[in-house]
Amino acid sequence: MRFRTTSVALATALLAVSALSACNRDSSDGAGGSSGKVGIDLPRSDTDFWNSYQQYMEKGVKTEKLGHLPFTNSQNDIGKLAANVQTFQDQGAKAVIMAPQDTGAVAETLNNLADKDIPAISVDTRPDQGDVYMVVRADNRAYGEQACKYLGEQLKGKGKVVEFQGDLASINGRDRSEAFKACMDENYPDIKVFELATEWKGEVASAKLQTTMAAHPDIDGIYMQAGGAFLEPTLALLEQKKRLVPAGQKGHITIISNDGIPQELDAIRKGTIDATVSQPADLYANIALYWAKKALAGEKVKEGPTDHDSTVIKIPNGYEDQLPAPLVTKENVDDPKLWANQLDKK
């Protein structure tokens, strides 16, 4: 996937959101007037990535003076998400932004919103069923493919690799896992992959890694599908086992991750991990608000390139805005356009 300029995309998106909000500036709360308010559910608060997303979302609604109901947090619980969305409906929400972690079980909640003509914007995950106005996410199959190719090239097509799979009830976990496996099977048949299901839980990943390394002490690589959940426990275990060897030294385990949080970038600088695919936490928040504004204005979605450096595609249950997600290595880890390098400036 080509690296694209996040800061330009963000600025363009914010300008577009501002233009849409101009017609509502005469409302007393600066919040959309007759267009109504947005209900915003945060999916969890146990990873650095989602905590960063929350910060960008909080800043975004203030900057754009977007009318919104009090934020809720479903804490990775589909029952809580359903209850929170029902509360939004009871409070008169005219659009809802959510990030359902269980993409199969959210259909009923989405259908209830559709029955009441309340558009839903799904961030990071594409629901398996249920109508959505827009899905805002990066191409998660590309995450798995990039990780596969990076490890395959670094290991010269041979060795043993541990894969921390995300929750397979989530389309993100499935997309990354299926793409990683397909790429490995096709291109690197001499690499043995140990698939470890984790449900996005760091303690589960650490425990399973310890067991795997006891049986296979010659592990050469690790693919972490979520650095926000897996980075800290993984590095702690490798240090305990005296396997946390810097890149370039004998015994180093090649590690690639997904998320692009500041801690991952710091680990790349130190050489304790090698690469990550940077999910755009800033764009996830701001582009979700962009589409919420359009939904409130009653605008129809069109396929094709956007003005914020992405592409909208048609999916069976709505549309998806596919945002760029660059590969980060030691060569570009200090790039100021990466969102994790901008946090200190916020």
Q: Give 183-230 pLDDT, tens digit per residue.
A: 999 999 999 999 999 999 999 999 999 999 999 999 999 999 999 999
Q: Tokens at residue 106, please?
A: 């959210």
Q: How far is CA 311 from the centre of its chain?
A: 17
Residue 142 clears pLDDT 50, i.e. is over it: yes
Task: Give the residue carrying structure tokens 């396997």.
Answer: 243
CA atoms of 158 and 160, how far apart (whole Å): 7
Residue 127 clears pLDDT 50, i.e. is over it: yes
98-113 pLDDT per residue, tens: 999 888 899 999 999 9
Residues 82, 179 within the same domain? no
Residues 37, 152 within the same domain? no
In a domain, 167, yes or no: yes
Count of domains observed in the chain: 2
Q: Cβ(174)–Cβ(201) under 8 Å?
A: no
In a domain, 339, yes or no: no
In a domain, 334, yes or no: no
Q: Tokens at residue 29, please?
A: 């709360």
Residues 28, 124 within the same domain? yes
Residues 273, 287 within the same domain? no
In a domain, 125, yes or no: yes
288-325 pLDDT per residue, tens: 999 999 999 999 999 999 999 899 999 999 999 999 88
Q: Cβ(94)–Cβ(37) under 8 Å?
A: yes
The single-letter DSSP state of residue 124 is S
Q: What is the CATH number of the domain that holds 47?
A: 3.40.50.2300
Quote the pLDDT of residue 65. 86
* Full-model pTM: 0.80
In a domain, 346, yes or no: no
150-187 pLDDT per residue, tens: 999 999 999 999 999 998 888 899 999 999 999 999 99
Domain encompassing residue 291: 6-138+280-325
Quote the pLDDT of residue 26. 31
239-298 pLDDT per residue, tens: 999 999 999 999 999 999 999 999 999 999 999 999 999 999 999 999 999 999 999 999
CA-CA-CA-CA torsion sign (210, 216, 221, 224): negative
Q: Cβ(332)–Cβ(318) under 8 Å?
A: no
Quote the pLDDT of residue 46. 87
In a domain, 342, yes or no: no
Residues 167, 37 within the same domain? no
Residues 134, 232 within the same domain? no
